Amino acid sequence: MARSDKIKLPSWISKEKVVLRDLHKVKSALREKSLHTVCEEAMCPNRGECFKRGTATFLLLGNICTRNCLFCSVPKGKPLPVDEREPENVAKFVYENKIKYAVLTMVNRDDLEDGGALHIKKTVEEIKKMNPGVKVEVLVGDFKGNLRDIDTVLSADIDVFNHNIEMVKSLFPKIRPKADYNRSLQILRYVFDNYNLPVKSGFMVGLGENKKEIVELMKDLKDNGVSILTIGQYLRPSMRNIEVKKYYTPEEFKEFERIGLSLGFRFVFSSPFVRSSYLAEKVFEGL
């Protein structure tokens, strides 16, 4: 993470150093199959821990995004053609590495007619065909609000639907100009109303929001069918990204958890290093 924010990095923002050789097996297997992970592309602070455990969140449809969110380090620009071998390669990786809970996420592909929905469906189907019993969580973009694309994804046998709202409403115009707060809520509500699936969402704090906005966001998510909520600290991945405005304390994260549970969420995973897919299998086991 970048370390030149105007406010000092607090003592609780630290992760155990990982020995590089512990990561070699997973990273080599990913490279061999031309696969990407959001762990690496988004410079997740948990990537060392997850790789050491032999888990990863697959980033489908390439590693170049058509959006320009200021908090994200995934490269932006014109994406390469979709790799048609990716669904099978992901399924093989899941099989070879004995993964029991696979998380599939994606770059936004506004250049594709269906936003990549069919490709995600094919990946889920390949995983399930090759790995009976494996659970699959999909963490998708907003598909520009096209609910037919959501239906395409959910026509596969997924186990958890995840769409991150990412931040409070007031920050969208500046930080997520190509996304829309209400559109994301509509997607979550649509899945809740039409599919018998756990609905999950998450957001970051430390981008300039206040506590009132955080609680309002939590209420909006609950009112639109979300049962699993993740809350984590924004950590600036590079100097090209927006700076951190505040580091919340572990005690403040615990307070968010208490508020979320009081609002009726089934699970609230709230801690500085929480990310939407971090330890996702543990949450699922508790459903």
Distance of CA 66 to the CA centre of its chain: 17
What would the pLDDT profile of 232-252 be if each residue is shown by its tens digit? 999 988 888 999 999 999 999
In this prediction, residue 8 carries a pLDDT of 79
Nearest to 171 by CA among 239, 222, 238, 246: 246
In this prediction, residue 24 carries a pLDDT of 56
User: pLDDT tier at 19 (50, 70, 90 boundaries)?
Assistant: low
The H or E element containing residue 233 is: strand 228-233
- The sign of the torsion formed by the CA atoms of 35, 39, 43, 46 equals negative
Look at 127-131, 138-142, 194-198, 271-275 and tell me which has the smallest mean pLDDT: 271-275
In this prediction, residue 42 carries a pLDDT of 45
End-to-end CA distance of the chain: 33
What would the pLDDT profile of 55-66 be if each residue is shown by its tens digit? 568 889 988 999
What would the pLDDT profile of 252-267 be if each residue is shown by its tens digit? 999 999 999 999 999 9
Determine the average pLDDT of the residues in 19-48.
57
Query: Residue 1 pLDDT more than 50?
Result: no
For the domain bounded by 20-285, which CATH number is listed?
3.20.20.70
Question: Judging by beta carbons within 10 Å of its beta carbon (0-12, 13-18, 19+), is residue 169 exposed, middle or buried?
Answer: middle
In this prediction, residue 16 carries a pLDDT of 59
Is the model's pTM score more than 0.85?
yes
Domain residue spans of the chain: 20-285
